[in-house]
Structure 1
Amino acid sequence: MSETPGDELIKAVDTLLPALLQGMDAVSFIARHMHPPLLESLVEQMEPVAAKLKQARPAFDAAEWPKHLSAFAAHVREAADETEAVFQGLREAVGDQSSPGGPIFAAYRGMRHGPRAMEALYPVSAMLPPVNRFFLDDSARDNEALVEELAQGVGKEGTGIHHFGNERKQRGGFSLYVPETYDATRPHPLIVACHGGSGHGRGFLWTWLTAARSRGAILLSPTSLDTTWSLMEPEQDRASLARMIAHVNERWNIDATHVLLTGMSDGGTFTYLAGLAGGPYTHLAPVSSAWHPMLIGSADPARLNGLPVYITHGALDWMFAADMARLASSELSAAGAEVTYREIADLSHTYPAEENARIMDWFLG
């Protein structure tokens, strides 16, 4: 019996989707283990996965998709394009001494396509259970009730991903994720996640989305007014962030007892600057960030007393030495903060996504 057009489409999806998800997992693995001495090895390890994705594409790309599936096909193609752009960017980064910052910064620039792949694929989570599970923590992927509730909640007013003045070339806006399980009758935890230097909130959203989605938290990912946070004049971005949080509070039911401020690199340093100064933040979680003893002197002692702070840093961090984080832990503890310090042996200057589950356990108690 010959294949029908429907059979061909199913076969195209069944061929491409596993290769695409494996490719996106590979991008996440590379992002987690990015370290200057390991770049060439990471690229070598990715090549079989990249080849598998490339081989899986022709049937999907050549298929004639009916009108009601055209958006689905476009999302999958875009996710595959962006994933392959990561792979190509990493290949080009190896040995690239001409780019500003050398190979590692060229690799970071190539990795910017990773969040774009996530953004492109996310709408498909409402259509296909494997993609729905892909955007959950490992511990939540077998939770059939949650998977079903998330799928059923798609399109519910006020839920999903929203961008407020936060196109990729814009500064000073924010992206927001409201879980599809949102219930306006009860308060929800709020995570405020700050990108690193030269980063953007629209991309950094995906660093935290699976954790927020798995735990029913609202996620706000702001973009700094300039190319990085106003570390020398913190009031500028601090005021901008306050306006964003006020906007979210007006529309969604936020649990004022659970407001986490977190950030990576410069975003982590800004977490100290903004969080120690006060504001609505009940918990602080800086990651791979710089610390200066002057920060402790500018904080209100009453604010520090009992303040929960979760510090994560890599022993291999080549930008901000782990000694900085150890000093922050020591000084904040001495000032009365309740500090949890996590130094990760194989972590360089990058984001340890697996730590989000531990941070959420600590944050939600």
Structure 2
Amino acid sequence: MTTNRKQYATGRLTAVTGAATVEDAFKSGVRRLNLDEKKDGLIYVPHSYDKKQPAALAVMLHGAGAPAENGLSLLQRYADARNIILLAPASRSYSWDIIATDAFGPDVIFIDQALSFIFKYFAINQNRIAIGGFSDGASYAFCLGLTNGDLFTHIIAFSPGFAYAPEKKGKPAVFISHGEYDPVLPIDSCSRRIVPQLQRQGLEVNYIEFRGRHEVPSNISGSAVAWFTGSPSPSL
């Protein structure tokens, strides 16, 4: 399939939500997307999923140099109880395209294809569609989340480095967490700058600082899920 990369130059996605049109025999658990032989993505379908009750969707992006499994692991422990389908793509290179090459391109295209797959096979709650990630994955989640805020209702950013979008659409709600002693992406030059920038844009920001380093403690990920799903914090 030939893809026109120019149409993705600003990070805009083309996948659209709607009623699932294909019956999928896969019931629950982890599966490969089978969209790429070497750098594929993963999907987790919760045991609670029922096409008659549309699930929330969270696209979770790994940090630099990590596999797709790392993105999946950020929220997987909560997916069954909260009826969340998780999509975890793998970056085409060591990190996400705008970070690695200063331009949108192959990662936007792959994520768009993955989202089209999800919307084709699964019933999704259009009021609960998040994009998120950790570290570079969190930064890239901002890139796509702010650019496609008419698709993504929520952005979940664990320890982001920056929030960049050449083209902004919609006003997604934002969750940010950051460790006070993060040696990789220092909080002063990262989240403490990002938060006021987003607030000046009129975005709703739920911001948590914690006594930790470059990490995602379970109480932080639990708070993010509760915020995203609009339900009490889960017990672990």
CA distance in 2, matches of 1:165, 1:353: 30
**1:238: Cα distance to partner?**
1.8
Shift of 1:251: 0.6
Give the SS at the match of 2:44. strand
Match of 2:28 among 156, 159, 180: 159
Check if 1:325 corresponds to 2:191: yes
CA RMSD for the aligned pairs?
A: 2.0
Query: What SS does the aligned partner of 1:303 have?
Result: coil
1:343 aligns to 2:212 (yes or no): no
Decide which of 151, 159, 164 is 1:280's aligned counterpart.
151
Match of 2:179 among 310, 314, 332: 314
The equivalent position to 2:162 in structure 1, one of 279, 291, 294, is 291
Separation in structure 2 between the aligned mates of residue 233 and residue 337 of structure 1, nearest angstrom: 25
CA distance in 1, matches of 2:124, 2:117: 11
Aligned sequence identity (%): 24
- Higher strand proportion (structure 1 or 2): 2
Q: Deviations over 1:159-187 (max 9, x none)?
A: 211112489x932x211110112111121
Aligned twin of 2:225? 360
The answer to whether the aligner puts 1:246 opposite 2:120 as a matched pair is no
Gaps of 5+ in 2: 1-24, 231-236
Deviation at 1:260, TM superposition (A): 0.9
Distance 1:225 1:364 in 2: 30
Cα displacement (A) at 1:353: 2.9
The one of 35, 57, 60 equivalent to 1:190 is: 57
Asked if the contact 1:166/1:201 (under 8 Å) is kept, the reply is: no
Larger-gyration structure (1/2):
1
Contact 2:60/2:89 (<8 A) preserved: yes
Amino acid at match of 2:203: A
Distance change in 2, residues 1:234/1:351 (3 Å): farther
Runs of at least 4 residues off by over 4 Å: none
**Whose relative contact order is higher, 1 or 2, with alpha carbons under 8 Å and at least 6 apart?**
2
Give matches, 1:116-135, under 5 Å: none
| 1:176 has 2:81 as partner | no
Q: TM-score, normalised by structure 2?
A: 0.79
Which residue pairs with 1:260 in the alignment? 130
The number of residues matched between the two structures is: 201
- Length-normalised TM-score, structure 1: 0.52
Aligned positions of 1:136-151 closer than 5 A: none
Separation in structure 2 between the aligned mates of residue 249 and residue 277 of structure 1, nearest angstrom:
19
Contact 1:234 1:270 in 2 (8 A): no
Counterpart residue number, 1:271: 141
Asked whether the equivalents of residues 310 and 341 of structure 1 are also in contact (C-alpha less than 8 Å), the reply is yes
Map of 2:170 onto structure 1? 303
SS at match of 2:86: strand
Which protein is richer in helix relative to its size?
1
Residue 322 of structure 1 aligns to a residue whose secondary structure is coil
Q: What is the CA–CA distance in structure 1 between the aligned matches of 2:222 and 2:106, rounded to whole Å?
A: 31
Q: How does 1:29-178 map to 2 (within 5 A)?
A: 157-165=26-34, 170-171=38-39, 173-178=40-45
The CA deviation at 1:195 is 0.2
Alpha-carbon contact 1:166-1:202 (below 8 Å) kept: no
The gaps in structure 1 that reach 5 residues or longer are 1-155
- Of residues 316-325 and 158-167 in structure 1, the stretch that sits farther from structure 2 once superposed is 158-167
